[in-house]
Amino acid sequence: MVAETNDVQNFIAVQALFQHLAESNLEYLSNNIYVAYQKSGGELEVGTGEAKPVGLVMVRSGSLEIRDAQQNLIDRLSAGDFFIPRVLAQAPAEMIVRVLEDCLYYELSESAFQSIRSNDEDISRLCDTYARSYQADASKSENAPAPAVRKQHAFTDSYLDQSVKDYMTAPAFCASPNITIRRAAQIMTNNKISSLLITEDERLVGIMTDRDLRTRVVAKGVADTEPVSGVMTPKPHCIDMRGRLHQAQLVMMSSGIHHLPVVDRDVPVGMLGMSDIMRANNLEPLSLTRGINNATTVTELAAVAAKLPDLVVKLIERDTRPYEVGEIITSLSDALTRRLLRLAETVYGKPPCTWAWLAFGSQARQEQMLGSDQDNALIYANNADDSADAYFAPFARFVNDGLDVCGIHRCPGDIMASNPKWRMTLAGWQQTFNYWIQERSPKALMHASIFFDMRPVAGDLELVNHLRGYVLAKARSNTIFLALMTQNALEHSPPLGFFKQFVLEKDGDHNHTLDLKKRGTITIVDIARNYSLAAAISEVNTISRLQAMERAGVMSRELVASLVDAHEFIAGIRLQAQGEKFHAGDTVDNQLDPKTLSPLVRHQLKEAFQLVRQAQAAMKARFGGGVL
């Protein structure tokens, strides 16, 4: 015998799945490989009942596609890509592997596959990811209408999966707005409830709570013979019965209420109280929130906040959808901020004027991830004078420092309320935005784009609503501004050529990593922001913006659905990578080594990037003309 390399071993040695293996392992693998061929149009068997079971199939040349029984395309494979027959056989739907182009393929025996899998952590992890993505993907397809049904099985046992419907108090107690205040109080007393829904033609028009009775009736001396419509809270926040508990929690926390009407398409069906959420689970997001709200010093607060990364890792492990993780992290950041503002008030006394604390960027969009830093500012009512700013300077520094101690680090660009530049009256802010919109320099906009995502975290919400209305009205009518924003957004482009070098990486010494934020999620965030500015959409969250864009008719339903999917997919990979980095004790950032991706995920990522390119092209066609 002659020691020699051979085609099989040479080939598998440079594939993503195996390229880290030692020579001896590669030899072991190639000795357990069986080479087979199928002409185009033929099918590969994925049955498990064979005498020599196959653990893994890798394409050597040609291409394959995997479809489910309904002919929906699940995956396409070309040279170097693999599939695991057992995973296909156990997928929820029946899978068919068809040859697109004459295909030479390698079958790795089940025993060798299991042996390498149990001995090599990387391969084991990749295969687990592959199997999971397959399970998740089997129900998805080209034509699947509702991505919302995906992954539902993944967190059935967690608090997050609990739908509002299962925890609300039903039926809802409703009354007409014409009944007297006394009658309303009687209904509430008789039924031992602390809030009453006011409906007209079955539709929710208001809510009356114990607190309303105290503050708007008794304290103000309103006669109890007046109609309830005069003292109720009109157009209350509500949540659809199909919503999730954590969403309800967000609504309650952000609007400072303890009762949330539950509706089924505008018709009240029940009521959800903070206590119902407590009852659902004393799980981390809530116990953390409670910890935050009970903290009386920054040190105590920091101790609670230190548990946040662990919570996020747990959420990732439970396959929580990325936008939900973003919402949960953001809700905790918001809670931290509010608590710090409270603590600041106890230190510096009551603020001298009406004010609001603004969040920008990812916190505003409710898309914070681990490692997101602060972007915030203060806005005062127009009647604030210099003494107000003198009060808020140390106040803001206290909060910014506090957040930093709690792990939400200071903004490297100094976009923080402690910077005097970012403490202004409403009029001052309007002027600043006006300048950005009129200023015809993309540089100024690059700096400014972060400000166009804004959300009030605490204080007087009306101030921020005013500002937002002003900005949207100004932006919408300025085509040159929109063109520049578009040009600016196109500077972040998804990397398409990137993966072509994938197999060659072992030879070169390139250390390719991919910035999943800059090259991935941000591209979609930019698209959603631009369209929202153009169509005066007041939503801030990217997914909500995209959905509002569809409703407003500024983007097609298909493109919106695809972008929502792409955003979720890229954010999911980013989150997964962050979780793994945290686990490994590495710095949590947005970089990803694409070598760690399975071919399937790689393929999907490629498709997601392609889609973003299309959307960018459409955006350029729509707004780009303003530059000329």
Partner 1 sequence: MAVFYSLSYRWQKKRYGKAATKTPLAGIYQATAPASRSLMRENRFLVVDCEMSGLDASRSQLLSIGWVVIENARISHASGKHLLIHADRGAGESTRIHGLHDATIAGAKSAAAAITLLAKQVPGSVLVFHHAPLDLRFLQQTAYDNFRCPLLFGYVDTMLIEQRRLQLQGAESGLRLAQCRERYGLPPISGHHNAMTDARATAELLLAQTSYLGGAGRVSLGRMGIQCSRHQYVRGV
Residues that bind partner 1 (CB under 8 A): 1-2, 4-8, 10, 30-40, 42, 52, 60-62, 101-104, 107
**Cα–Cα dist 251/238, whole Å:** 8
Q: Which amino acid is at 35?
A: V
Token code pair at residue 610: 């392609």
Only one residue has tokens 């945290």, namely: 582
Handedness of CA 307, 308, 313, 319 (dihedral sign): positive
Residues forming beta bridges with residue 107, ordered by sequence position: 34, 57
Whose Cβ is closer to partner 1: residue 93's or residue 112's?
112
End-to-end CA distance of the chain: 72
Shortest distance, CB of residue 13 to partner 1, whole angstroms? 12
Residues 6+ apart with CB under 8 A from 595: 16, 19, 502, 505
Nearer to partner 1, 104 or 347 (CB): 104
Residue closer to partner 1, measured from CB, 61 or 287? 61
Among 496, 479, 426, which Cα is nearest to 454's? 426
- How far is residue 575 CA from its own chain's centroid? 9
- Give 99 or 208: the residue with its C-beta nearer to partner 1: 99
Q: How many angstroms separate the Cα of 141 from the Cα of each of 86, 131, 298, 324, 351?
A: 20, 16, 49, 22, 55
> 2 or 22: whose CB is closer to partner 1?
2
In sequence order, the β-bridge partners of residue 238 are none
**Least distance between partner 1 and beta carbon 58 (Å):** 12
Q: How far is the CB of 30 from partner 1 (least distance, A)?
A: 6
Q: What is the smallest separation between the CB atom of 83 and partner 1, expressed in angstroms?
A: 17
Query: DSSP character for 227?
Result: B
Nearer to partner 1, 36 or 390 (CB): 36
Strand partners, 424: 379
CB nearer to partner 1: give 108 or 384.
108
User: Beta-strand (E) ranges in 94-167?
Assistant: 95-109
Question: Is there a cis peptide before residue 594, judged by omega within 30 degrees of 0?
Answer: no
Q: How far is the CB of 48 from partner 1 (least distance, A)?
A: 16
Whether the CB-CB separation of 161 and 324 falls below 8 Å is answered with no
Q: How far is the CB of 552 from partner 1 (least distance, A)?
A: 49
Tokens of 247: 């969403």
Least CB distance to partner 1 at residue 64 (A): 13
Compute the least distance from the CB of residue 50 to partner 1, in Å: 9
Please state, in angstroms and rounded to a whole number, the distance separating the CA atoms of residues 289 and 198: 31
Residue placing its CB nearer to partner 1 in the complex, 8 or 84: 8
